[in-house]
């Protein structure tokens, strides 16, 4: 029924993200302003606020701010004012930026959002230092939350996510040394555990922090954390698809990047797990050599698709998106925030669906 209040009231995912970025921005600017000027300059570059000369580049390469939005919506969903979740939003955004800086060093990724990664622009040592500064500032801000109980609970939540994040990154790096098949191959459960740590933990933490700072009871906090973790698994599946078939103009990364690096991503693992002729040919190809040229990577990508890897990963994304939405629906949340979360969740998984 067009024209009802319901329809008019549902904003788009990008509307939700924009509103949240605007609410968080002053506190995020303040946090970055408290860093040493040099690490602050690198942080501003990493956040897409300025170029390497420190000149403002408004809106140029800024991230969508998914994590900060989840923190604010987490608070609103439990009936609190978004403002109380701003320290949580700042913390997860700073931790996310820290992890991008350090992961790009570890993965030797030279590009990030179509610009040189911080380690490429400033050097490896400075990028490590800037990451450390962001991490320290993230915890500091949260530890300064009014009320010892809220501060302690929020810091514990962030710490749990940090430990998972680092362990997930460790798994991801170790996977690169594992064989493609045989008893040492990476199994689906191992892949899921890695992806949940690397991507799900911080998304879950963002939602949970909003709820903690909004004063929600533990079962609600746990449900939001679970929803965010499933969202992260959907997100990682989508990212894996984009890492093989994504348009470099959109992803800001080279085509077939994950194939050239021999990364153990979901589409390739799922393709190999099938028993088709394409799967066997793919296995032989990957066992012989890492695809270093464009033609070899193209051939691998075709075989992964033919063996059903792309479809399986799309299915994985959809299953986790559904599980995330189910976790939200099973929890008593305020209606407006719940709908905005639903729109946001769908928008994030929509990139390849």
Q: For binding to a second copy (CB under 8 A), which residues are involved?
A: 34-36, 38-39, 102, 105-108, 124-126, 128-129, 131-133, 135-137, 139-140, 143-144, 148-149, 151-153, 155-156, 159-160, 162-163, 165-167, 169-171, 173-174
DSSP of 287-349: HH----SHHHHHHHHHHHHHTTHHHHHHHHHHHHHHHHHHHHHTS---HHHHHHHHHHHHHHH
Phi, psi at residue 111, to the nearest 5°?
Answer: -115, 140
Please report how close the Cβ of residue 340 comes to a second copy at its closest, in angstroms.
Answer: 30
Indicate the helix (H) or strand (E) that contains 115: strand 115-116
279 burial level (CB within 10 Å; 0-12, 13-18, 19+): buried
Q: Which is nearer to a second copy, 211 or 301 (CB)?
A: 211
Q: Looking at beta carbons only, is 229 or 310 nearer to a second copy?
A: 229
Residue 158 CB, shortest distance to a second copy, in Å, is 8
What residues form DSSP beta bridges with 56? 50
Closest CB to a second copy among residues 135, 223: 135
Q: How far is the CB of 310 from a second copy (least distance, A)?
A: 29
Residue 264 contacts residue 186 (beta carbons within 8 Å): yes
The minimum distance between CB 104 and a second copy, in angstroms, equals 10
Choose between 155 and 338: whose C-beta lies nearer to a second copy: 155
Q: Are 221 and 211 in contact (CB under 8 A)?
A: yes
The answer to whether 227 touches 265, Cβ cutoff 8 Å, is: no
Phi, psi of 115 (to 5 degrees): -125, 165
Nearer to a second copy, 161 or 259 (CB): 161
Q: Within a 13 Å sphere around the CA of 6, how many CA atoms are in the beta-carbon half?
A: 4
As measured in angstroms, the least distance from the Cβ of 134 to a second copy is: 9
Q: Provide the minimum distance between the beta carbon of 169 and a second copy in the complex, in angstroms, as a whole number.
A: 6
Question: Which one, 200 or 283, has the nearer CB to a second copy?
Answer: 200
């Amino acid at each position: 029924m067009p024209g009802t209040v319901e329809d008019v009231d549902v904003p788009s995912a990008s509307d939700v993200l924009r509103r949240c970025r605007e609410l968080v921005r002053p506190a995020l600017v303040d946090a970055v302003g408290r860093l040493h000027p040099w690490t602050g300059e690198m942080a501003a570059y990493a956040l897409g606020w300025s170029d390497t000369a420190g000149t403002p580049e408004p809106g140029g390469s800024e991230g969508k701010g998914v994590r900060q939005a989840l923190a604010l919506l987490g608070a609103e969903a439990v009936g609190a004012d978004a403002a109380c979740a701003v320290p949580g939003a700042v913390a997860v955004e700073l931790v996310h930026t820290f992890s991008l800086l350090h992961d790009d060093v570890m993965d030797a990724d030279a590009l990030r959002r179509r610009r040189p990664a911080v380690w490429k622009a400033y050097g490896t040592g400075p990028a490590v230092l800037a990451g450390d500064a962001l991490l320290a500032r993230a915890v500091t801000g949260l530890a300064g939350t009014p009320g010892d109980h809220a501060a302690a609970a929020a810091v514990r939540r962030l710490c749990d996510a940090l430990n998972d994040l680092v362990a997930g990154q460790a798994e991801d790096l170790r996977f690169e040394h594992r064989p493609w098949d045989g008893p040492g191959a990476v199994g689906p459960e191992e892949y899921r555990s890695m992806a949940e740590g690397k991507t799900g933990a911080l998304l879950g933490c963002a939602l949970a922090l909003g709820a903690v700072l909004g004063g929600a009871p533990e079962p609600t906090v746990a449900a939001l954390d679970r929803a965010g973790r499933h969202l992260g698994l959907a997100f990682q599946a989508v990212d894996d698809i984009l890492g093989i078939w994504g348009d470099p103009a959109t992803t800001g990364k080279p085509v077939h990047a994950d194939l050239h690096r021999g990364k153990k991503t979901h589409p390739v693992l799922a393709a190999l797990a099938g028993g088709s002729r394409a799967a066997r040919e793919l296995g032989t190809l990957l066992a012989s050599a890492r695809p270093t040229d464009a033609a070899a990577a193209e051939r691998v990508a075709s075989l992964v698709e033919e063996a059903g890897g792309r479809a399986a990963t799309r299915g994985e994304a959809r299953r986790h998106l559904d599980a995330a939405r189910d976790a939200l629906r099973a929890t008593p949340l305020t209606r407006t925030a719940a709908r905005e979360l639903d729109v946001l969740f769908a928008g994030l998984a929509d990139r390849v669906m």
